[in-house]
Structure 1
Amino acid sequence: MKKIFLMVAIIATSFVQYGFAQIDHAGHQTQAVALLPLYYNIKDALVSGDAKLAASKSQEFVNAVNSTDAKVVGETNKKALLEHAGKLAKSKDLKSEREHFAGLSTSMIALAKASKLSDEPVYQMYCPMKKSNWLSSEKAVKNPYYGSAMLTCGNVVETIK
């Protein structure tokens, strides 16, 4: 009877540990996935030319990155994300925000290619005038670097699935 009880205890313990490991992994993946909609919010604010909203959304992005485990995004990429989003959050100038958005986009593209950030396709766009990329949830070009001045300048260069 003691042997049966001991075996049941060992099996139960292994299932509990496996369950915790799955929750931990899922939690890490959720952290990375949560960054993409926040990035899109920054992009959309820049498309509309709203410097105040772009700064506000960048601060939300900074807060999310700060609460993300470095194992999820990688230490180097986390540092780059924080650097560019932090500068964007502190800026009140649309031109400056768009400059920092280019660096933020480079880091987000690297993250999107390394991790599955969405069940939906993620489109990598390219602006030939700015010579910079950005991510979008839709194929239609809405350029965050020039906003209404050159809203449709750019093209899809890759679909990240």
Structure 2
Amino acid sequence: MKALILSIILAFGIVTVNAQQINSVDNVTAHYIGLKEALVNSNAELAKSKSGELLAALTAFPVKTLQPKQQKILATYLTKLKYDSRHISETTVIDHQREHFQSLSKNMYALLSGLNLNSSPLYQQYCPMKKAYWLSESTDIRNPYYGSDMMECGKVTATLKAGK
């Protein structure tokens, strides 16, 4: 009986940790998507605000809930993601925000594909004019690098399937 109770407690603990990981990844992803949408709409003030929210979500990420391999992946990209988020959040010069978004997107893709914890699919998209990638929650192209000037410029290049 004790073994059964201990097994149930252990299983509940594992499920709780997995839920925390997924919620944290989804939270970071949602803030990234919010930033992307602000850039799509060429709204530098909103991009500044959304980037600050992304920075806060990255800072609050519960590293210790990850497996050691995942912690190493997070450690590889977290400083870079914070750097770009911080820079975007400190300016309203949209061209400068978009420059940092390019690096942010590259590192976000690497992080999310390495962690494999997103709860829904994400699509890596590519703008041939800018030679830059971004992530989207949909296959519809809404280009954050040129906004309304070239809204549909791009293509889907990869899919991050929902993780565990």
What's the TM-score, normalizing by structure 2? 0.85
Q: Distance in 1 between matches of 2:19 and 2:138?
A: 26
Q: Distance in 1 between matches of 2:53 and 2:30?
A: 11
CA offsets per residue over residues 57-78 of structure 1, 9 Å max, x none? 0111111111102345611211
- Report deviation, 1:25: 2.4
Instruction: State percent identity of aligned pairs.
Output: 33
Q: Higher mean Cα deviation, 98-107 or 73-82? A: 73-82
Asked whether 1:56 is paired with 2:49, we answer: yes
- Report deviation, 1:95: 0.6
Equivalent position of 2:118 in the other structure: 117
Q: Distance in 2 between matches of 1:141 and 1:84?
A: 23
Q: Distance in 1 between matches of 2:7 and 2:117?
A: 29
Equivalent position of 2:136 in the other structure: 136
What's the TM-score, normalizing by structure 1? 0.87
**Amino acid in the other structure paired with 2:2:** A
Q: Distance in 2 between matches of 1:32 and 1:156?
A: 22
Asked whether 1:23 is paired with 2:24, we answer: no
In terms of Rg, which structure is larger? 1
Unaligned runs of at least 5 residues, structure 1: 1-7
Aligned length: 153
CA offsets per residue over residues 18-38 of structure 1, 9 Å max, x none? 322321222122211221111
CA offsets per residue over residues 82-107 of structure 1, 9 Å max, x none? 11111111111101000010011011
Asked whether 1:150 is paired with 2:150, we answer: yes
Q: Higher mean Cα deviation, 146-155 or 43-52? A: 146-155
Match for residue 37 of structure 2 among 44, 53, 62:
44
- Report deviation, 1:10: 4.4
What root-mean-square deviation, in Å, do the aligned CA atoms of Structure 1 and Structure 2 show? 1.6
Q: Higher mean Cα deviation, 95-104 or 70-79? A: 70-79
